[in-house]
Amino acid sequence: MKFFGANRLSLPLLAILVAALSAAQRIPGERVATARIVSGDLAVLFRDNADSPRILSGIQSLLHLKDSKEFNAFDPHSLGAAAGLNFEHIISGHSDPANRFTPRHGKYSLYKLTDEKSVILVRNREDCPWAASNVFKYTVNAPHYIDIDFRSVFHEPSLFGRRGYAIQFFADYMNDVAEVPIHFRGVSRPNGNEEWIAADAPNTHPDWNGGGTYRHARAEGLGYDADHNFKLNVWSYDYPRFTKPFYYGRMANGMVFLIMFDKDYNREEEVRFSLFKFKLPRLPRPAWDFQFVIHKVKANREYGFKARVVWKKFISREDCLEEYNKWAAGLDRNK
C-alpha cells in the first residue's frame, strides 16, 4: 500500500500513516466494507467504494438515537444519490472526462480503527485519474459530532492544465428538509454588514444547472474554459458570500445539520458551499454540499482541512453560531 508524505499531518493521521509505512504495511485497524460506529447520541454507518456508484462511499446513515432514531439525515432511498460526506468530484478548469464523479470509481478502502470510534477511507494515486492520493478520517464524538480530517496530495499537477486549480467536491444528499436554503453568516453586497443569509441557489447565472455555489467574502470567482464539460460546480455567485466557515440547514423532525470548517479562504486554498435541488420539487431533499479548492496545485504537497458535523435538535441560529465559536476556539488552542 502506497501513501503520500505526512510531514504536516495532525498527530492522529500521522500515526496512521507511520504505521501504514511499517514493514507490515498495515493500518492500525481492520479493513471492512462497512462500519457502524455508535458514540454519544449518534449511530453512523460508513461504507467503502466497493459498490459505488450504485451505493456511495462515505456515510450511508446518520441517526440521532435520543431525538430522531428512525430518521436518517441522508436520503435513504435514491440509489446513486444517497450518502453524506461523499467524495464526489475532482474538477479542473478545463474540459476533461475525469471532471465527473472520478472519486466514486476505483478502489477507496475503508478501515475501522482500533479506537472503535474512527474510520478512514484511503485512496492511492494509481486508483485516481488525477494521480491524487488522499486519506479521509471520520471520528464520531459524543454527544452529537462527527469530526473530519481530510488530506490529499496531487502527484502530477500538469493534469490540471494552464489554470492549475483543483476543486475537490463533497456531496451531502439530505433526507427530507424543513427548509431548502442553507444558512450562514455573510454579506449580501459589497462592503455590507455581516448578517444571517438564507441561500437557496436561485437561477441567476447562465451556467446554472439545478443549483449553485457560494464563496468567501474575500474570494474571487474561478475562471474556466468556455468548453468546460462540468460548469455547474465551477461557477459561483458574486453575492451573497459567507464570512464565517460554517452553514446549517433545517431538517424534518426538528433536526439541524450543521457543518463547520477550520479554514475559509487564502491565496492557496479555500472552502466553498454548494446547494443543488435536482430532487425538488418531487422530493424535499436538496444536496447541501461543499468544496475544497486548491488554487495552484503543487506536486507532492499535502493539502487538507478539518471539519465538524453537528447532528442534533435545532435550537436557534444563535446556538449554531455558538457551536461554531466553541469549536473554532478549541482549534486555536490546539495549534
pLDDT in tens, 291-304: 999 999 999 999 99
The predicted pLDDT at position 311 comes to 98
The predicted pLDDT at position 28 comes to 74
Does residue 248 belong to any structural domain of this protein? yes
The predicted pLDDT at position 26 comes to 60
Say yes or no to pLDDT of 334 above 90: no
Does residue 77 belong to any structural domain of this protein? yes
Is residue 211 within 8 A of residue 287, CB to CB? The reply is yes
Say yes or no to pLDDT of 7 above 90: no
Say yes or no to pLDDT of 65 above 80: yes
Does residue 138 belong to any structural domain of this protein? yes
The predicted pLDDT at position 23 comes to 34
Does residue 175 belong to any structural domain of this protein? yes
Q: At 1, is the pLDDT very low, low, confident or very high (cuts 50, 70, 90)?
A: very low
Percent of the chain beyond pLDDT 70?
91
SS3 string of the chain? CCCCCCCCCCHHHHHHHHHHCCCCCCCCEEEECEEEEEECCEEEEEECCCCCCCCCCEEEEEEECCCECCCCCECCCCCCCCCECEEEEEECCCCCHHHCCHHHCCCCEEEEECCCCEEEEEECHHHCCCCEEEEEEEEEECCCEEEEEEEEEECCHHHHCCCCCEEEEEECEECCECCCCEEEEEECCCCCCCEEEEECCCCCCCCCCCEEEECECCCCCCCCCCCCCCHHHCCCCCCCEECCCEEEEEEHHHEEEEEEECCCECCCEEEEEEEECCCCCCCCCCEEEEEEEECCCCECCEEEEEEEEEEEECCCHHHHHHHHHHHHHHHHHCC
Say yes or no to pLDDT of 192 above 50: yes
CATH number of 232's domain: 2.70.98
Whole-model pTM: value is 0.92
Higher-confidence residue of 329 and 12: namely 329
Does residue 159 belong to any structural domain of this protein? yes
Does residue 3 belong to any structural domain of this protein? no
Segment 231-279, tens digit of pLDDT: 999 999 999 999 999 999 999 999 999 999 999 999 999 999 999 999 9
Say yes or no to pLDDT of 305 above 50: yes
Say yes or no to pLDDT of 22 above 60: no
Segment 101-149, tens digit of pLDDT: 999 999 999 999 999 999 999 999 999 999 999 999 999 999 999 999 9
- Smallest CA-to-CA distance from 295 within 216, 232, 181 is with 216
The mean of the pLDDT values for the chain is: 92
Does residue 318 belong to any structural domain of this protein? yes
The predicted pLDDT at position 156 comes to 97
Q: Domain residues for 267?
A: 11-333
The predicted pLDDT at position 333 comes to 59
Provide the domain count of the chain.
1
Segment 139-184, tens digit of pLDDT: 999 999 999 999 999 999 999 999 999 999 999 999 999 999 999 9
Does residue 4 belong to any structural domain of this protein? no
